[in-house]
Structure 1
Amino acid sequence: MVEANYWQYYLSFEEDVDRLFRYIEPAEYNFTVYSVELTRLYLAICSEIDVILKAYCKLLDEGSKPSNINEYAEMVVSSKKGLCSETVNFQRFGVSMTPFSEWKQSSTPTWWKKHNGVKHNRNVNFKDANLGNVLNAFAALYLLNLYYYQERRCIELQEQGFSESLEETAASLKSRLDVLRIDSVWLSFMER
């Protein structure tokens, strides 16, 4: 069986987002900008979020069969409470986001709700495929990759009596462009 390499998918989106920054400055006053390209990115990134969330839930509980964002939240939020408070920085631009701050078992993040609107009724919700929602989704995908790979590595190391911190996981996942950092990891690197 071929391993799904979620980080490789993230890196492909990182290149797309970095290229996008050549045309749209990632500044709050541009968060309402929308386009066909932003729609394509938004739908693709959120699709990958769905894929990695399913895999993450399986990692947390092999017998689980979650099928929607509320069921993912039930598993992920309850076991990884820190995820909802993680802030991600687009370092070169001074923009920060906390994409899961609204995520609770009965409440989904606004950017996810807007994604569903775009996915199911694009002609009415086209404007919701905007830069702000794309960047929140992209930041969420970054966080999910960090948490997924940290969890996976901890499971592997557990047999040897070791664990791995989120900072160590972030350092081990190589980014070609280094577009994002999470606050806790960035602060840890700065203190060294």
Structure 2
Amino acid sequence: MNFHKYFLSLEKRFIELSGFVYIHPDNDAVYSTEIALLYLTVCSEFEVVSKALCKAIDSSQNDLNIHNIRAVINGQMLTRSFFDEGVAVSGYDYPTVFPFIEWTDQISPTWWKSYNKVKHDRFARFPEANLRNLLYAFAALHVANFYLNWHPRIQFGHRRHGTFQLDPPPAMFRIHNVDYEGPWFSNELEGL
């Protein structure tokens, strides 16, 4: 499974959605069936990719949940901090999204808590499947994908040392201080 290509297919659906709901903080609370569908899918994919990242860090990891996912990633001591990453939503007047800023050993991110509420009680919690939570989930998924597939200290599947390229790069979601143009070489990524 190519996680990046799956991300791009989800991002394409989000771009289509942006033709109907303008991506702006004024619309953070907007919710709909399409937003809920994307939100549940993106959050589920974040969990899948995060578990794959944890297995790439430590192959002995099993039975992972959101709390021990954080512990495994945090224990990797990556030069660039996974939990501090900011993601821009290109083409829109939306502030930088920091999807993990409130994630601690005891507290899950708000967007993740809302995902679980919507997943287990969609009727009562449907409004929590909103634009803001979807944006944060997309940002989190992009960061997890980036670290799994392109961080030089993570060895995963198809990737080999040498040249890496986001091909094609995401259209909307961009991690700050990552150059998305052209090939990268592992020594260029060492500062990450």
TM-score normalised over the length of structure 1: 0.83
Q: Is the 8 A contact 2:57 2:154 kept in 1?
A: no
Between stretches 147-156 and 50-59, larger displacement belongs to 147-156
Match of 1:43 in 2: 40
Structure 2: which 5+ runs fail to align?
Answer: 183-192
Matched, 1:175 2:168: yes
List per-residue Cα deviations over 1:114-157 (Å, max 9, x = no partner): 0000000111100000000001001111111100012477537x
Match of 1:110 in 2: 110
What is the alpha-carbon root mean square deviation over aligned residues? 2.4
The CA distance in 2 between the partners of 1:69 and 1:173, in whole Å, is: 27
Higher percent of residues as helix: 1
Change (3 A) 1:152 1:187: closer
Match of 2:126 in 1: 126
Aligned amino acid, residue 73 of structure 2: V
Change (3 A) 1:8 1:153: farther
Match of 1:150 in 2: 150
**Which residues of 2 match residues 159-170 of structure 1 at below 5 A?**
none
Matched, 1:5 2:2: yes
Match of 1:139 in 2: 139
The CA distance in 2 between the partners of 1:97 and 1:176, in whole Å, is: 18
Instruction: Tell me the CA shift for residue 94 of structure 1.
Output: 3.0
Percent identical pairs in the alignment equals: 34
Match of 1:184 in 2: 177
Match of 1:75 in 2: 72
Change (3 A) 1:34 1:60: same
Aligned pairs, number: 176
Structure 1: which 5+ runs fail to align?
Answer: none
Matched, 1:90 2:89: yes
SS in structure 2 of the partner of residue 89 of structure 1: strand
Instruction: Tell me the CA shift for residue 188 of structure 1.
Output: 10
Following TM superposition, the consecutive aligned residue runs of length 4 or more in structure 1 with deviations greater than 6 angstroms are: none
Match of 2:189 in 1: none
SS in structure 1 of the partner of residue 101 of structure 2: coil
SS in structure 2 of the partner of residue 181 of structure 1: strand
List per-residue Cα deviations over 1:98-128 (Å, max 9, x = no partner): 0011122222110000000000011110000
Between stretches 141-150 and 100-109, larger displacement belongs to 100-109
The CA distance in 2 between the partners of 1:70 and 1:155, in whole Å, is: 22
Instruction: Tell me the CA shift for residue 16 of structure 1.
Output: 0.6
SS in structure 2 of the partner of residue 143 of structure 1: helix
TM-score normalised over the length of structure 2: 0.83
